[in-house]
Structure 1
Amino acid sequence: MGILRLLRLPGYRRLLGVRFPAQFSDGMFQTALGGAVLFNPERQADPIAVAAGLAVLLLPYSVIGPFAGALLDRWDRKRVLVVASLVRALLTVGVAATVYAGADGAPLYLGALLVAGLSRFVGAGLSVGLPHLVPRANLVEANAFAVTVGAGMTATGAAAAIGVRALVGAGDAGSAVTTLTSLLGGLVAAAVAAGFRRGVLGPDRAVAQQHGAVATALRGLADGARATRSTPSVTASFVALAAHRVAFGISTLLMLLLFRYAFTAIGPLRVGLAGIGQTVGVAAAGLGTAALVTPWAVRHWGRARLVRAALVLAAVAQLGLVALLSLPAVFVAAYVLGLVGQVLKLCTDAAVQGEAGDGVLGRVFAIYDIVFNVGFVAAVTAAATLSPPDGRAPALLAASAGLYLVGLLGHDLVLRRRHRA
């Protein structure tokens, strides 16, 4: 169909109008909180503190995901988008107040957990609603544009947070102002989502809820796991994506420490939070490249071959980083891993949205959340216990390269079993 023709679909345009400000807000909030914890001159951060901050931002996607998946198959998804966006904005005010007061530990992390959890409802609602707005034959193109530009909006939000922080200061007061500013995108997302007609995002058939919240979540996970297992292409995609997320978690922890403690600026290449911002920008360029090449590559090579090529490319990039471990090498690896990660995500999105039934789509996305985030957080935590304080750990980077090859073998094995069956 082409992206220009997709953009003529009013429902798809409105969905983008919700996704983009919501992800901009996510990028601002995550960077503001990361700056408050890791790059705040009034606080000190060791590997464990960095891992805790990343866990706070990402674990809710898996803790809340099972509830979101089950409930999105029962509730009107438009209402979920509006209410979750508004409540998230309200909770952001509380987190900003906590940062301003200089609190850390449980009070700060609990507030951040709640904000990130509400973001999960918004993100899941957008994902499961997409097949109702575009033809299924065009899901790869629709995802490539929505997810990739959305990731670019997250990066833009991160850059905006760095800019606001440079204006208002890097201490607790400045971090609080930056955090508070991030709620604006969420308010815009809620206003745009309110324009959807009731029921237009699904579910097609609401399932009567006969159990409590915990039982609903557990049953939803079981349903999602069965649906995933019965669709080998989805299972294989999850295996490949899990390998990337674990490897990427190790790299992320080490790069944050290297930018904080080990690297020194080289010409225009910065260190500290500014260097992290540059790295995010380079990775976003890789995401943009993925948006351009993935639909074409899927048509010509097929999803399976493209996934395998992406995993091999990521392993090579990681090995190059091990050999050089320098600031320029980090930027090259950031571009490659941004490209690879987005290719894998787009292929996985297409597999889930195109081959899992709408009646279980939310619950399969709950499994998706676990694959995407729990592996990342577990890898960050493990790397934090093994890494030196300055992040110079080439052996860990080499292990992350090996994980891509493990993902390649696992992906191939699942598909071979399907063909034999």
Structure 2
Amino acid sequence: MVLVCGPYRGAVSNQANAKTPHPRGHVRAILARKDFRALLGTRAASQIADGFFQGGLAVSVFFNPTSKIEPFAYAIAFAMLIAPYSVLGPYVGVFLDRWSRRNILAVSNLLRALLVVPTALVIFWGGPEIVFGSFALLVITINRFVLAGLSASQPHVVEREHLVTANAFATTLGTICFGAGLGGSYVVTRLAEGEYAYALASGLAAPLYALSALIAWRAFRPMYLGPDEFERHTGRVVEAIVETTKGMVAGFAHLWQRRGAAYSMTVQAAHRALYGVLTVVTLAVLRGHFHDPSIEDFADTLGWLAGIAAAGQVGSFLSALITPRITRWWGPGRWVTALMLLVGVTIAGVAFAMWEPAFVAATLLINIASQGTKIVVDTSLQTTVADEYRGRLFSLNDTVFNLSFVIGMFAGASLLPSDGYAPDILFGVVVGYMIVTVWYGLISTRHRPY
């Protein structure tokens, strides 16, 4: 099925055979559209809020000087928050392919704004962990609707030939906004003290979630972002959930017919699993091996984490600049293969050095690879999957994306010493990336992502 972009179907058809413009022309074209800018604003406000909320949450749990954390605790904490959120993923598509995506974005962010308030209060008062964890789980789970909804809506606000640039621009801006939120939460926790600082950093997410909801509600008509009327599912939601359970086989079959998209999702899943190992190693080694025990409040650790976060945002930004041009010139399959090779070589350097600045530099390069791969995968799903399946397959992709990360964290935590110093594990990760590089380099020549 030919992908169309809602009200702009005619424009897509008329321009399908047009000469590909210069990359700057793509950027001008997408930014000229008011609807794209509005969706971008919805994403930006939401992901800045995510950064504040999750940053305050992480510092209060992992870097609270009153708590003692072992490496396995990182994996358990992430699993508790991500696994339920991810298992629900395919069912989000039921709603994205059936209900107004504008309404889903607005209502989901409004609910999160309301839920952040009691979460921050529980952090401040030091309430029971089960209450704190339940509120946090709800806020993060609802994010599933927002991220999948933003991705599924994108083809309705840009023409087909601009999708790769739009994905590069939107997802990278989202990552940078998330990093800005993390940076803001770090500043708050350094300026304020104790539980008040953690609660304030998390609580600042509430007005930003509300702003995101307002932008989506005011900028779009109810069905503007899809699903398209001729592809929209109807009927009872409960029946649809049952049918979705049965229909996952059909969804996989639909994806399998688009081998390029399926293989690009697979390589991203492998990358995320290995990235999970890297994450738990980084957290553990900064909190353990590199931490100066004479400093009570982990100021040194948080300083290096701030540097890592900043390097990650720079890497995401650079990836947004170069990925659209390179994929058009070199091809998306070759680009992803090169990115996996880049990560493998980078991690080998970190394993040899085991030095704080090496982790910062490596984060910049790894984020170039992560963001570039995500841009390719998103574009592959948007351009090769029919709109009637797009919502559920984006949700499925998010599920695989997150569960792979959690699996990687558990694998790394099960092997790590308590202080996190484990260059041998990093060399094992290098071997994993080399295998992925060779496999995808061969398979992508026969099955291009798009």
State the TM-score, normalizing by the size of structure 1. Answer: 0.94
- Is residue 185 from structure 1 mapped to residue 211 from structure 2 by the alignment? no
Counterpart amino acid of residue 189 in structure 2: R
State the TM-score, normalizing by the size of structure 2. Answer: 0.88
Cα distance in 1, alignment partners of residues 251 and 232 from structure 2: 16
- Aligned residue among 169, 179, 195 for 1:172: 195
Aligned residue for 1:149? 173
Specify every segment of 5 or more residues in structure 2 that has no aligned partner in the other structure, as ranges: 1-24, 293-298
The answer on whether the counterparts of 1:225 and 1:367 sit within 8 Å (CA) in structure 2 is no
Aligned residue for 2:335? 306
Aligned residue for 2:157? 133
Bigger Rg over Cα: 2
Cα distance in 2, alignment partners of residues 217 and 79 from structure 1: 21
The answer on whether the counterparts of 2:51 and 2:180 sit within 8 Å (CA) in structure 1 is yes
Quote how far apart the aligned CAs of 1:277 are: 1.5
The answer on whether the counterparts of 2:270 and 2:436 sit within 8 Å (CA) in structure 1 is yes
Aligned-pair Cα RMSD in Å: 1.8
The answer on whether the counterparts of 1:243 and 1:406 sit within 8 Å (CA) in structure 2 is no
Quote how far apart the aligned CAs of 1:110 are: 2.0
Quote how far apart the aligned CAs of 1:213 are: 6.6
From the superposition, tell whether residues 222 and 232 of structure 1 become closer, same or farther in structure 2 (CA, over 3 Å). same
Q: Which moved more, 1:323-332 or 1:42-51?
A: 42-51
- Is residue 363 from structure 1 mapped to residue 392 from structure 2 by the alignment? yes
Aligned residue for 1:248? 275
Any idea what the Cα deviations from partners look like across 1:160-202, whole Å, max 9, x if unmatched?
0011112221x22321122111212101100100021111100
**Secondary structure of 1:43's aligned partner:** coil
Aligned residue for 2:421? 392
- Aligned residue among 337, 342, 353 for 2:382: 353
Any idea what the Cα deviations from partners look like across 1:378-415, whole Å, max 9, x if unmatched?
11122122211111111221121222222223424544
Quote how far apart the aligned CAs of 1:220 are: 5.5
Counterpart amino acid of residue 239 in structure 1: T
Cα distance in 2, alignment partners of residues 189 and 325 from structure 1: 41
Aligned residue for 2:232? 206
Percent sequence identity is: 33
- Aligned residue among 101, 105, 124 for 1:77: 101
Cα distance in 1, alignment partners of residues 76 and 289 from structure 2: 21
Cα distance in 2, alignment partners of residues 342 and 114 from structure 1: 26
Q: How does 1:57-68 map to 2 (within 5 A)?
A: 57-68=81-92
Any idea what the Cα deviations from partners look like across 1:124-170, whole Å, max 9, x if unmatched?
1111000011001110100111110110000000000011112221x
- Aligned residue among 33, 41, 57 for 2:65: 41
Counterpart amino acid of residue 212 in structure 2: A
Aligned length: 414
Q: Which moved more, 1:46-55 or 1:75-84?
A: 46-55
Quote how far apart the aligned CAs of 1:264 are: 5.0
Cα distance in 1, alignment partners of residues 336 and 386 from structure 2: 23
- Aligned residue among 359, 363, 366 for 1:334: 363
**Secondary structure of 1:2's aligned partner:** helix
Cα distance in 1, alignment partners of residues 122 and 248 from structure 2: 34
- Is residue 93 from structure 1 mapped to residue 117 from structure 2 by the alignment? yes
